[in-house]
Each structure stands twice: as structure tokens, then as C-alpha cells.
């Protein structure tokens, strides 16, 4: 059974002929009541403080749980982001390698095409030079022949002149008539 300070203050003792000193007992009871009152208030205060502390502790525990869940979620997201970034990087590298290989292959093909074109141009150059050389040689022979013809013409000039004169007089003279009737 709990006794409150009010119970102590209101408690009355029976008096006896050789009983207690009423004022001393009353004074003592009042001191005990005051002390119990103080203890009771302090206990109430401590209970309230304990309740607040427990509430705060429960709140902190809840925050801790929430924080742990948040950290785990963040860690999972970080791991997923890393994995996705790694996969994406691998894809980008693979695509870049493919593009690089394609560019290199195109460059090789272009190089081969250019080599073929160079060979064709060299063949055409040789053919052109041969043709040009043949034309030049042909013209040189013609020039040589013309030079000989001019020199020969000088030797044959009197004969040619005579032929030309005979030919011209034949054209000027009237044709001879035939009297056959």
C-alpha cells in the first residue's frame, strides 16, 4: 500500500495518558510529509523525464531503423548504378571498338582502292607514253621524209616543171577534130 504525503498529513494518532508528545509527533509527521512530498514530486518528475527519454529513445530507434533502411537502399542503388554504369561503359567501349574496326577496315579498303587506282594510272601513263612516243616517232619519220622530199624535189624540179608545162599546154590547145563523115 502506498502512502502519499496527504495520507501522512491527515493521519491522526490516538492519544494516551502516557502517550506521545503531540506537538513533537505532529512536527515530525509534518517533516516526514514534506519530505515524502518532495520525494513524490521528484519521483513524478523522474517518471515524466523517463517517459520523455523513452519516447525520445523510441523515436531515435525508429530513426535508426529508417536510417539503416535508407542506407541499405542507397547502397543497393549505388551498387545498381555502378553495375549499370559498368554495363553501359562496356557497351560504349564495344561500340567504339566496332566503329574503330569499321573505320580501320574502310581505311584499308580505301588504301587498296587507291593502290589499284595508282597502278591503273601508272599503266595508263606507260600506255600514253608509248602511244606518244609512237606518234612522235611517226612524225619524226614524216619530217625526215618531208626533208628528203624537199631535197628530192630540188633535184627533180626541172623535170617537174617540164611535165607541168606540157600538161598546161595540153589543156589550153583546142581538141583536134575528127572528120570522119
DSSP assignment of 86-143: HHHHHHHHHHHHHHHHHHHHHHHHHHHHHHHHHHHHHHHHHHHHHHHHHHHHHHHHHH
How far the first Cα of the chain sits from its last, in Å, is 195
For the chain, give the mean pLDDT: 83
C-alpha to C-alpha distance for 56 and 152, rounded to whole angstroms? 137
- Provide mean pLDDT across the span 89-95: 95
Q: Tell me the pLDDT band of 14, cut-offs 50, 70 and 90.
A: confident
Mean pLDDT (whole number) for 19-45 = 82
DSSP 173: S
Region 28-51: what's the mean pLDDT?
Answer: 88
CA–CA distance, 94 with 103 (Å, rounded to integer): 14
Confidence band of 181 (pLDDT split at 50, 70, 90): very low
With a CB cutoff of 8 Å and minimum separation 6, the contacts of 6 are: 33
Going by C-beta distance under 8 Å and a sequence separation of 6 or more, which residues neighbour residue 160?
Answer: 153
In sequence order, the 6+-apart residues with CB closer than 8 A to the CB of 30 are 9
What percent of the chain has pLDDT above 70?
80
Q: Domain segments of the chain: what residues?
A: 5-164
Q: Please name the residue that has the C-alpha cell 502519499.
A: 4
DSSP for residue 11:
-
pLDDT greater than 90 at residue 171: no
Number of alpha helices (DSSP H) and beta strands (DSSP E) in the chain: 2, 0
Q: For the whole model, what pTM was predicted?
A: 0.40
Amino acid at each position: 500500500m502506498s502512502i502519499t504525503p496527504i495520507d501522512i498529513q491527515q493521519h491522526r494518532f490516538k492519544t494516551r495518558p502516557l502517550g506521545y508528545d503531540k506537538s513533537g509527533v505532529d512536527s515530525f509527521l509534518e517533516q516526514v510529509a514534506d519530505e515524502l512530498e518532495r520525494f513524490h514530486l521528484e519521483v513524478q518528475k523522474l517518471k515524466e523525464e523517463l517517459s520523455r527519454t523513452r519516447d525520445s529513445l523510441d523515436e531515435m530507434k525508429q530513426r535508426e531503423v529508417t536510417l539503416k533502411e535508407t542506407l541499405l537502399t542507397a547502397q543497393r542503388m549505388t551498387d545498381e548504378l555502378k553495375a549499370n554504369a559498368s554495363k553501359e561503359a562496356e557497351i560504349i567501349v564495344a561500340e567504339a571498338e566496332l566503329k574503330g574496326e569499321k573505320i580501320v577496315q574502310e581505311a584499308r579498303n580505301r588504301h587498296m582502292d587507291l593502290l589499284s587506282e595508282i597502278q591503273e594510272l601508272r599503266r595508263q601513263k606507260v600506255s600514253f607514253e608509248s602511244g606518244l612516243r609512237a606518234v612522235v616517232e611517226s612524225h619524226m619519220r614524216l619530217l625526215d621524209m618531208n626533208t628528203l622530199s624537199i631535197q628530192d624535189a630540188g633535184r627533180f624540179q626541172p623535170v617537174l616543171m617540164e611535165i607541168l608545162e606540157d600538161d598546161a599546154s595540153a589543156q589550153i590547145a583546142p581538141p583536134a577534130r575528127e572528120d570522119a563523115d
